Every structure is written in structure tokens, then in C-alpha cells.
Structure 1
Amino acid sequence: MHMRLVKLLLVLAGISTQCVFAQNYPARPIRLVVASSPGGASDILARTLAQKLTEQFGQQVVADNRPGASGVIGTDIVSKATPDGYTLLIIQPSLTINPSMIKKLPYDAIRDFAPVSLVVDAAQIMTANPSVPAKNVKDLIALAKTKPGQFMFGSPGLGTSPHLTAELFKLKAGVDIPQVLFKGSGMAYISLISGEISLAFSTVLSAMPHVKTGKIRALGVTTSKRVQVLPNVPTIAESGLPSFETSQWFGILAPAGTPRPIIDRLYQALSRASSSPDVKERLAAQGVEVVNRKSEEFAGVIKSETEQWAKVIKAAGIRPQ
């Protein structure tokens, strides 16, 4: 009985210490690692959030770009950082793709991180060259089944979200549509507009100007809901493939072992930062929705998508490098 009481007191003391630590957090600047180059979507979102968090905390939140190796370099830095809330990572689906694309990762994508918040969902959009005689996803699937191998997807590189989203579509729809891999989305768009390739997945933001001018046709967005900037474009699920849903999300991770009160404090601050009217309006104009999913939900997304992309990559015959 005496030992049980001692153990209980020790547990309560630990919880009390963590709570006091969280109340005083942050007491110094926070480093927000961006595992990609300056100017990209992760970087822009990181700097937007960092500014808002700095205003809330009264401490500098500094975006630190550590690009390279498909995000592995920056991600590894955070996996090995002290779990005290002062080193964070902004991450996208590469976290769940890399375990099946890279043979030897220096970290475990599930075990070595504490999810804080899945902040935003960015829809991808499926587009077609106007010469493709399909007005919606249902038509495209039927057409592709009668003419296997005739149409071509274009993607901005091996293992990118558009590449694997196309492979997921092929798997769920049961169609044979080969892919051409380009070095970047710019070249893929040139080929799509010229008709060298038939189809592509991309961000809504990059596709929008070409859709509005009629150079390419929008067939559907990949998220569960239509996007505000293109309200007349249906989801792929409602347009012919009910089981289809994926997104280019962005979230914040801390190193595993970060105290729960710190995670909760960060989640609350991130929710306020991303939900401010100016941020929401700016993101909505880019086809990005603020969702602020909590730690447990984000952990579930990481686990389920890691399993999903492993199946897609195996089915596509892609070998880990």
C-alpha cells in the first residue's frame, strides 16, 4: 500500500511538473524546420504560421529550411531533437510515402514523432487535355477500360504526390493509364496543354489559370468536398469513383516524447493562427482548407496513409531506392 502511494505521488508530481513547464512555454525561440526549399508550399505556410505564433507567444518562431533527399534531411533533424517543444517540423505526405520509397530511413515515421496538428488540407485536381472525350471521371473510366494504354498521365517526378495519386486512381478505378515522369510540374503542364499527355493530377492553385482559360479541362478534385475557388468542379468521388479521397495535407510534428501539455498548447496556438480571417482567406484562394485536426486524428492519418501508399507503390511495381 505504501509503495502504491509513493508511485501515485511520483506520477502526480510528474504531471504537475509538465503542467508548470507548459504554462511557462515557450520561454525562448522555437525552431520550425521546413524539410524543403524556400518558396514552396511548405515554406510559405511555415512562415505564415511562424509569424502568427510569434505574435501569440511573444517569442520568435523561426522557419528553418533544411531541404534534401525528398524531405528526409529536415525530418531526421526533428526526429533526433530534444523533445521539449522548441524544435518542430512542418510536414506533408512525403512523411507517409518515403517509408516505401526509400530503403533505409534514419527514422521511423510513426514511432519517432508526436503529431501536433494536421493544419490544412490542400486538394489536388485531375485535369485533362480538351481532346480527351470525357466530361467527367465516370466517362474517363469507361473510356480507359475500352482503350487500355491509350491515354497517358503526366507527373512531376517519381514518388511525388501527383505521381502516387495517379497510381491510386488507376488502382481503385481498375484502368491501365501509363505515366510519363517529368522533372517538375512545369514540364508536365506544357505537355498536357500541348496534348502530348492526356491527364494530370496537380494542386488546384497551379491548375486554376489553365482551367479558367479552357486550356485544360477539370474532371474532379481529390478531397471529400468541393473547393471554394472552383465550386463547379465536382469531387472525384461524386463524379464517378465513390471510394476515392486523398489530399496534399500539411501538419506539424514534434519529436516523440514531447510532453502532452506542450502538444496541447501548440495545438491551441496553431488553431488560432490558422483560423485567423486573413490566413483562412489567403489559403482558400489557393484551394487550401484549414482543418486543424487534433493529435490523435493526425496520428491516424499518418498510420493509414503509410499503409495506403505502401500498397499503391507495391501495386505500381515501384522499387525503393
Structure 2
Amino acid sequence: MLHSKAVTIAVALYLITTGFPAHSQSYPARPVRLIAPFAPGGGVDIVTRLVGQKLGEALGQQFVIDNRPGAGSNLGTGLAAAAQPDGHTLVVVSVAYAINRSLYKSLGYDPKDLTVIGLIASAPNLLVVHPSLPVSSPGALVDLAKRTPGSLNYASAGAGTPTHLAAELFNSMSGAALVHIPYRGGGPAIIDLISGQVKVMFPGIIAAIAHVNNGRLKPLGVTSLKPSRVAPGVPTIAASGFPGFEAENWYALLAPAKTSRAIVNMLNVELNKITSAPEVQERLARGGAEPLSGTPTEARMYVLHEMKKWAKVVAASGATVK
């Protein structure tokens, strides 16, 4: 992950070496369409509105939020890929962008038609179990699963969702062989987990933390490489015997691939300023998210790494969507 403090020098050097050609100074010339490829109210929508508001304030033009849900975010992402590469159509994507490349037989667009401007934030999932399960750590869960093969199931928000693939990554790294029970959405899955119909889940941390705090769910580990401020005292899975385990829902800003380097650089600089602002960091923290920053090149490399990682998990899970 590319955190604000860690990249300050890198960003400064990047700007010195790239600079801003004169034609970028007239951008944006009109309101910018900022696509959120999910329905209003979710994490992507919230992050998109926050970024759009701050970019509008910084650049003196309105950033109009355009919610275009459908096909697991492929519909809205495809609209951005097909847009004119003049910087006036952008899209905020999540980890689903990396997962979908392997999950869907046809995306409806070519990922090569998009370029990554920068990372915005990331939020971990939380490995939780029903309180009746006699385990208190990820390792103990794996031991129990191996002693009673096929007896432990886990809920997900649906096949191919981050809650599903986080569990499959855990299966592949631990050998736990937890059995998948897909639901139509995270809400029904958590309800059945609380009632004991299923025993394990990897929900988003904000969806789970209230139930953890009132004792309805037992936390075993967070899926980020660093502990989460939202779940103090809960160790990372990586530090609990599974080094390198990481499954986070990240957000990134993308543009059509042929957008000028000057505009991409300008937006990257403004995005880094936004995620470094204390007010924005506090708003992200309330949603369980950590701010990210870095150069466009660093962001692209991170997204490519995520695509490769999740391709292996999707293949191992057998999940596919036509």
C-alpha cells in the first residue's frame, strides 16, 4: 500500500521531472463527469462524492457524480473507458476492477483503455466467527477446520465478491478448506452469521464492527497488513501465522488511457493533496478507510499486482460470471 507519509519525497521528485505543460493549465474547461460504477450509498459512492467535492474546490469546476451501477461495476467502468480522453470523464473504481478481469468472461471493455491516476484509500475486511465457535485466532480456526473437514462454512455477499475471494485467499494460504455459502448481498449473510446458520465470514470492517462491539460476532483478524484503528486490539491475519495475507477494498481514480500525461499528473497531485488533508483523513477513518497516495506509476503497478493476485484466487475458487 502507498501511504501518504511514505511517498512525499517520491511525489515531489516525480513532479520535478514531469512538470505541467502549458495546455494542462486550461483544464478543466467545463464540468467533469465523475462516474461511480455502483449504486448510491455504498463505499465507492461515498469516496467518489468526497473526491469529486474536493477536486471541484481545488480546480474551480464542478465534478458531477454519475452513478452507473451494473455488471459488478463493469457498466460504469466501460463508459469511462469509451469516453473522450480529455480528462472530462473519470471513474472511481474499487478492488472489483482488479477482480472482474478474471471473474467475468467478458468485461464489455478493455482494461488497456484506462489509465490509473492514483490511489485514494483502502479499507480492510474483518475475519469474524459466530461466538459459539471455540476459536480465538486465525490459526485456531484453521486447526479446527482441518480436524473437522467440510464442517465449517463461511458466508459471502455472493460469488466473486470481495467477501468471497478474501475467504478463498485464506483457504489457499492456510489449507482450511472452509465451505462457501453465497448470499445475495452482505446484509443477509451477516444476519445468518449472527444467528449461527453459518459460522465464518470476511465482511467489510464497517459492516461488522458494530456486531463485534456488542458481542454478536467474534473477531479473529483484520485482512490488512497493518492493524485497523476501527478494530483496536484485533491482530492482522498476516501477523497471526499467515505472512503476506492481504485482502483490502481499495479505491482508485482512473481516466481513459489516452488522456494527456499533463492532465493525469495534475489530477494525481491534487488527489495526493486531498488524501493528505486532515479533514479528509478523518472522514475516511470514520468509514474504516486509510488514505493512500503516490505517483501514477506506483498506482498502476499496485493495480497490476492486484489483478495478478486475484486472478490466482478466482482460478482456485472456480468462480466465473458470463
Q: TM-score when scaled to structure 2?
A: 0.91
Map residues 48-67 of structure 1 onto 2, 5 A cutoff.
48-67=50-69
Amino acid at match of 1:49: V
Map residues 287-306 of structure 1 onto 2, 5 A cutoff.
287-306=288-307
Question: What is the alpha-carbon distance in structure 2 between the residues aligned to residue 76 and residue 189 of structure 1?
Answer: 31
Give the secondary-structure state (helix, strand or coil) at the position aligned to 1:157. Answer: coil
Alpha-carbon offset, residue 107 of structure 1: 1.8
Alpha-carbon offset, residue 275 of structure 1: 2.4
Tell me the equivalent position of 1:97: 99
The answer to whether the 8 Å contact 1:35/1:72 transfers is yes
Alpha-carbon offset, residue 274 of structure 1: 2.5
Give the secondary-structure state (helix, strand or coil) at the position aligned to 1:89. Answer: strand
Question: What is the alpha-carbon distance in structure 2 between the residues aligned to residue 69 and residue 97 of structure 1?
Answer: 13
Map residues 212-291 of structure 1 onto 2, 5 A cutoff.
212-291=213-292
Alpha-carbon offset, residue 285 of structure 1: 2.1
- CA RMSD after TM alignment: 1.7
Tell me the equivalent position of 1:82: 84
**Quick one: which of 21, 26, 31 aligns to 2:33?**
31
The answer to whether the 8 Å contact 1:100/1:320 transfers is no
Amino acid at match of 2:52: A
The answer to whether the 8 Å contact 2:160/2:320 transfers is no
Tell me the equivalent position of 1:184: 185
Tell me the equivalent position of 1:156: 157
Amino acid at match of 2:110: D
Alpha-carbon offset, residue 319 of structure 1: 3.5
Map residues 115-134 of structure 1 onto 2, 5 A cutoff.
115-134=116-135
Alpha-carbon offset, residue 151 of structure 1: 0.8
Q: Which has the larger radius of gyration?
A: 1
Aligned length: 306
Query: Is 2:312 the counterpart of 1:307?
Result: no
Superimposed CA distance per residue, residues 181-218 of structure 1 (whole angstroms, 9 cap, x where no aligned partner): 11111111111111111110111111110000111011
Superimposed CA distance per residue, residues 148-191 of structure 1 (whole angstroms, 9 cap, x where no aligned partner): 11111100111111111111110111121101111111111111
Tell me the equivalent position of 1:71: 73
Give the secondary-structure state (helix, strand or coil) at the position aligned to 1:38. Answer: coil
Question: What is the alpha-carbon distance in structure 2 between the residues aligned to residue 202 and residue 293 of structure 1?
Answer: 27
The answer to whether the 8 Å contact 2:85/2:260 transfers is yes
Q: What are structure 2's unaligned runs of at least 5 residues?
A: 1-17
Question: What is the alpha-carbon distance in structure 1 between the residues aligned to residue 24 and residue 99 of structure 2?
Answer: 33
Question: What is the alpha-carbon distance in structure 2 between the residues aligned to residue 235 and residue 293 of structure 1?
Answer: 24
The answer to whether the 8 Å contact 2:75/2:108 transfers is no
Question: What is the alpha-carbon distance in structure 1 between the residues aligned to residue 168 and residue 294 of structure 2?
Answer: 26
Alpha-carbon offset, residue 273 of structure 1: 2.0
The answer to whether the 8 Å contact 2:105/2:320 transfers is no
Question: What is the alpha-carbon distance in structure 2 between the residues aligned to residue 243 and residue 141 of structure 1?
Answer: 17
The answer to whether the 8 Å contact 1:119/1:293 transfers is no
Tell me the equivalent position of 1:20: 22
Question: What is the alpha-carbon distance in structure 1 between the residues aligned to residue 277 and residue 285 of structure 2?
Answer: 12
Give the secondary-structure state (helix, strand or coil) at the position aligned to 2:219. Answer: strand
Question: What is the alpha-carbon distance in structure 2 between the residues aligned to residue 318 and residue 74 of structure 1?
Answer: 22
Q: What are structure 1's unaligned runs of at least 5 residues?
A: 1-15
Between 308-317 and 172-181, the greater mean CA deviation after superposition:
308-317
The answer to whether the 8 Å contact 2:272/2:294 transfers is no
Amino acid at match of 1:186: G
Superimposed CA distance per residue, residues 14-54 of structure 1 (whole angstroms, 9 cap, x where no aligned partner): xx9x7111122112111111101111111111111111111
Question: What is the alpha-carbon distance in structure 2 between the residues aligned to residue 108 and residue 294 of structure 1?
Answer: 23
Stretches of 4+ aligned residues off by more than 4 angstroms: none
Amino acid at match of 1:105: L
The answer to whether the 8 Å contact 2:221/2:236 transfers is yes
Superimposed CA distance per residue, residues 260-314 of structure 1 (whole angstroms, 9 cap, x where no aligned partner): 1111110111122232222211211221000113211221122122222221111
Tell me the equivalent position of 2:5: none
Question: What is the alpha-carbon distance in structure 2 between the residues aligned to residue 319 and residue 263 of structure 1?
Answer: 33
The answer to whether the 8 Å contact 1:221/1:233 transfers is yes
Amino acid at match of 2:278: P
Percent of pairs identical after alignment? 40
